Structure 1
Amino acid sequence: MGYGGLETSRRKDPSDMVTIVPIETPSLGDRSYLVHDGATAFVVDPQRDIDRILDLARRDGVTITHVFETHLHNDYVTGGLALAREVGAAYHVSAADDVDYERSPVADGQVVRVSDRLSVRAIATPGHTFTHLSYVLEDRDEVVGVFSGGSLLFGATGRPDLLGPDHSEALARHQYASAHRLAAELPDSARVLPTHGFGSFCSAGETTADATESTIGTEKQTNPAFSQAEDDWVRETLDGLDAYPAYYVHMGPANAAGPGAPDLSPPARADRGTIARSIAAGDWVVDLRNRTAFAAGFVEGTVNVGLDGQFATYIGWLMPWGTAVTLLGDSPEQVAEAQRELVRIGIDRLTGAATGQPSDWTDGAPATFPRGTFANLEEVRHHRRVAVLDVRRTSEYDKEHIDGAVNIPIHELLGRLRDVPDAEVWVHCATGYRASIAASLLARHGARVVLVDDDFDTRAAEAGLPIAAAG
């Protein structure tokens, strides 16, 4: 389910503990939180699929009375309004946000009493958005932690450019000031409980590797926002920003409009004829299997976006928004998981789905393409002409790349098909996940591809390939 309990208090009696349950969504790099005192609970930044939260509340025997949003999210469709309506909770959204639904507006300095023990105090922390709020959790007036949303992350901050380049510098300066305000107003022992920063593209800079928790004191010692002067930090933050998923532009408006609960009922069954017609119409028929299984046999014209990676992020980034979607998977459970991922970013309606294997999905013979390693690439390039296509982001390529490789970041690929060499194309990324998506897209357009299913950082130079830095 993607959650784990964290009991936090300075008191020794286990019955007197405050419980904070992070609910993780790894494919989007986010966390939501369920917080309770054993009886009364509140939720921070819930994802669209609220059944996970309701199950947790039932498990712990608690009643959700309040739901808080740190900001109008850019990377997912919120479940906050639907959850509040489902359980009859107060829905707290910044008073400064222009939304199309009734909410309990909350502003800087406002304290919401959740129970006799628990209270939540809002602190204005603009930077990720202009109206961003963080929420300080207090247990009988003792500060436990701060739900920092897209403000202060583990070793980084939320990115300041999602509202457009005209606002980026102003928001970066707000972000710097917000981090320092949290550090000044909260004790070093206060836990930092962000929503973003666990692989999310909402992060600016690199979050602390493998960190699962942090405190204000830790951040003051390790976060660049506290070790650099403002002008230096702002310049480095803005210079270091990379591309973010195209679907983000649709999330803020959806969240301001007030999304309802998703329909997770099984999609209609797609038979061979339906699948063939969908492919012919230019729809996206998405094969959810891992890249090994896909390369060994797939329906010609399908796209491989495996559930073993950032599935929703890359579907939302690469697929033209509004395109009809059909899912192909090993099992009904795999399709259901993918459907859950898609509703989190507002893709609610599927044309259909099918399970089984490629022979069940097409009347023709399944297509294939070869898989290889960097060692295989090093060997074949001495014997025949091949092209190397690096689909990592430009920043990754600039750091280090195979000499002579063509760099087309995966999110630019569909718009730059003419730039793909007319040759046998060996496609690679960092580990193989993005390369398989790219290889399937190229095969869909008739290219001759070989998937490099290997780890670039550890294997490319070791294989003897010439490695260069850009510029």
Structure 2
Amino acid sequence: MFFIDTIEVSGLGNRSYLAGGERTAVAVDPPRDLDQVIAAAARRGVRISHVVETHVHNDYLTGGLELARVTGADYLVPAGARVAFDRVPVHDGDRTDVDPEAGLTLRALSTPGHTPHHTSYVLEENGTAAAVFTGGSLLIGTVGRPDLVEPRLTDGLARAQYASAHRLAAELPEETAVLPTHGFGSFCSSSQAEGTATTIGKEKASNEALTRDVDTFVADLLAGLDDVPAYYAHMGPANAAGPAPVDLTPPAVADAEEIAARLGAGEWVVDLRNRVAFAHGHVAGSFNFEAEGQLATYLAWLIPWGKPVTLLAESPEQLAVAQRELVRVGIDRPAAAATGGPADWMREGEAPASFPRGTFADLAGRSEDVVVLDVRRASERASGFVEGSVHMPIHTLHRRLDEVPEGEVWVHCAGGMRAAIAASLLDAAGRDVVAVDDSFDAAEKAGLTVRTS
């Protein structure tokens, strides 16, 4: 018998896996905060004998190298990956015994496309395929995007992605479970599909990589690619060099004077509270990235790389969760941190800053005399936008604040989270802003004119 445990990395839209028998197990594409993988192995009472990577990741820092070091496991990395550390190079067709007593073997299948060296791993029980760890190759209803390595390689990698999907479909039984790393909200996925579980058979029936001809598939894949988070440029090189061990100890405590000094020095002070609390009252000049949202993705995407960041949290627990999220994308040590609320973070005599929130119904009554700012991505706006609205995707706004037209700014996204980030940026810049905390689906129902061109 064997087990497969899924380790959710929901903030980044990824999954990692621990699979094994009664004695030993393999960890697949582990996150950088490897303690949760070690805890999963402890619950199972198994030793991690192998750690494997499907590819050099572009969207997060791996914990694979450190996990192999602390457990003594063999570290398997595709042979074609250019890395600066010792590892076991994996070639197409290589077999690795995971738990011999349980008859568990891992078989490598070369599946280029997401990267040139991408490799999938088939978990076999007594020679029969039970599951395949597909990394960024075959995902649920889609495939991993082929444009994250080098622009000149994109077309070729898209075609390789098609061929790899067909190889998996041809060589594995239909009942084989497909266990991807990406595709649960990750920007490494070429599109977002519904569902949390699938098999080779289900993908053969529904995945466009397996139901279309190659030219149509490639053309549609390339046309549908979304924006690439800016921090991705730093993840691949760091993973190839080998990420350092993480330090999750609490940061230095900042008092009100230090918070003011850091703001005055142009550093980022990030308030992790929910957007309702932030809008009601916050330290002037601070930015709002909700701890419960996609904190790591959007903070790492927007912040100038390497700029010191001070975190403001409601509690030590909220701060600890945020630290864990941020080390996954290379924001290793906050410059400082404080817990509590605005009264604890402001100097004596200072008043909290605030701004109003509204709905699309509220906006409908004011749309003639205000600036409507849409901070969704271009792919989202293509399906409908408020007539007369100004478009600046959230990841470009901090560099384009001087381009926002004069007047009161009503800023919206698709649901409210990114609008809150944008509102905090505008508020810090001294603009009159209203955060639209509403679903974009409500815009037309509220009486606003929604156009598609």
What TM-score do you get using the length of structure 1 for normalisation? Answer: 0.94
Quote how far apart the aligned CAs of 1:205 are: 2.2
Quote how far apart the aligned CAs of 1:238 are: 0.4
Distance, in Å, in 1 between the alignment partners of 2:254 and 2:89 is 45
SS at match of 2:105: strand
> Does the alignment pair 1:143 with 2:129?
yes
Quote how far apart the aligned CAs of 1:450 are: 0.2
In structure 2, which of residues 439, 449, 452 is the aligned counterpart of residue 466 of structure 1? 449
> Does the alignment pair 1:336 with 2:326?
no
* Residue type at the aligned position of 1:409: P
SS at match of 1:173: helix
* Residue type at the aligned position of 2:129: V
In structure 2, which of residues 110, 114, 117 is the aligned counterpart of residue 131 of structure 1? 117
Distance, in Å, in 2 between the alignment partners of 1:283 and 1:137 is 48
In structure 1, which of residues 166, 179, 191 is the aligned counterpart of residue 165 of structure 2? 179
* Residue type at the aligned position of 1:441: L
> Does the alignment pair 1:287 with 2:271?
yes
Distance, in Å, in 1 between the alignment partners of 2:331 and 2:409 is 32
What's the CA shift string for 1:390-441, capped at 9, x where partnerless?
Answer: 0000111111011111110011112222221111000000000000001101
Quote how far apart the aligned CAs of 1:164 are: 2.5
Distance, in Å, in 1 between the alignment partners of 2:217 and 2:367 is 44
User: Do the aligned partners of 1:50 and 1:261 also contact (CA within 8 Å) in 2?
Assistant: no
SS at match of 2:445: coil
What TM-score do you get using the length of structure 2 for normalisation? Answer: 0.98
> Does the alignment pair 1:164 with 2:164?
no
Which residue number in structure 2 is paired with residue 448 of structure 1?
Answer: 432
What's the CA shift string for 1:62-119, capped at 9, x where partnerless?
Answer: 1100000000000000000000000000000011111111101111110111121110
Distance, in Å, in 1 between the alignment partners of 2:329 and 2:191 is 23
SS at match of 1:27: helix
* Residue type at the aligned position of 1:278: R
Which residue number in structure 2 is paired with residue 379 of structure 1?
Answer: 365
Distance, in Å, in 2 between the alignment partners of 1:172 and 1:426 is 39
Distance, in Å, in 1 between the alignment partners of 2:233 and 2:83 is 16
Quote how far apart the aligned CAs of 1:206 are: 2.8
Distance, in Å, in 1 between the alignment partners of 2:364 and 2:250 is 46
> Does the alignment pair 1:312 with 2:318?
no
SS at match of 2:12: coil
What's the CA shift string for 1:231-277, capped at 9, x where partnerless?
Answer: 01101100111101000000011001111320000101010011001
What's the CA shift string for 1:343-384, capped at 9, x where partnerless?
Answer: 0011112111000000100121110000000011111235xx
Distance, in Å, in 2 between the alignment partners of 1:417 and 1:259 is 34
User: Do the aligned partners of 2:412 and 2:435 also contact (CA within 8 Å) in 1?
Assistant: yes
* Residue type at the aligned position of 1:164: E
* Residue type at the aligned position of 1:418: D
> Does the alignment pair 1:265 with 2:249?
yes
What's the CA shift string for 1:132-154, capped at 9, x where partnerless?
Answer: 00000001111101000000000
* Residue type at the aligned position of 1:408: M
Percentage of matched positions with identical amino acids: 57
SS at match of 2:304: coil
Distance, in Å, in 2 between the alignment partners of 1:436 and 1:372 is 11
Distance, in Å, in 2 between the alignment partners of 1:175 and 1:219 is 14
Distance, in Å, in 1 between the alignment partners of 2:311 and 2:54 is 33
SS at match of 1:447: coil
User: Do the aligned partners of 1:95 and 1:107 also contact (CA within 8 Å) in 2?
Assistant: yes
Alpha-carbon RMSD across the aligned residues, in angstroms, is 0.8
Distance, in Å, in 2 between the alignment partners of 1:415 and 1:447 is 15
Post-superposition, which runs of at least 4 consecutive aligned residues in structure 1 deviate over 6 A?
Answer: none
* Residue type at the aligned position of 1:130: P
> Does the alignment pair 1:93 with 2:93?
no
What's the CA shift string for 1:28-64, capped at 9, x where partnerless?
Answer: 0000001121221110000000000111111111110
Unaligned runs of 5+ in 2: none
> Does the alignment pair 1:248 with 2:238?
no
Distance, in Å, in 2 between the alignment partners of 1:250 and 1:344 is 12
Distance, in Å, in 2 between the alignment partners of 1:452 and 1:417 is 18
In structure 2, which of residues 183, 186, 199 is the aligned counterpart of residue 197 of structure 1? 183
Distance, in Å, in 2 between the alignment partners of 1:93 and 1:394 is 36
> Does the alignment pair 1:152 with 2:138?
yes
Distance, in Å, in 2 between the alignment partners of 1:93 and 1:165 is 24
SS at match of 2:149: coil
Distance, in Å, in 1 between the alignment partners of 2:328 and 2:121 is 23
Distance, in Å, in 1 between the alignment partners of 2:134 and 2:146 is 15
Quote how far apart the aligned CAs of 1:156 are: 0.3
In structure 2, which of residues 331, 341, 366 is the aligned counterpart of residue 357 of structure 1? 341
User: Do the aligned partners of 1:120 and 1:137 also contact (CA within 8 Å) in 2?
Assistant: yes
> Does the alignment pair 1:367 with 2:368?
no
Distance, in Å, in 1 between the alignment partners of 2:164 and 2:399 is 38
> Does the alignment pair 1:416 with 2:400?
yes
User: Do the aligned partners of 2:50 and 2:68 also contact (CA within 8 Å) in 1?
Assistant: yes
Which residue number in structure 2 is paired with residue 26 of structure 1?
Answer: 10
Distance, in Å, in 2 between the alignment partners of 1:248 and 1:381 is 37
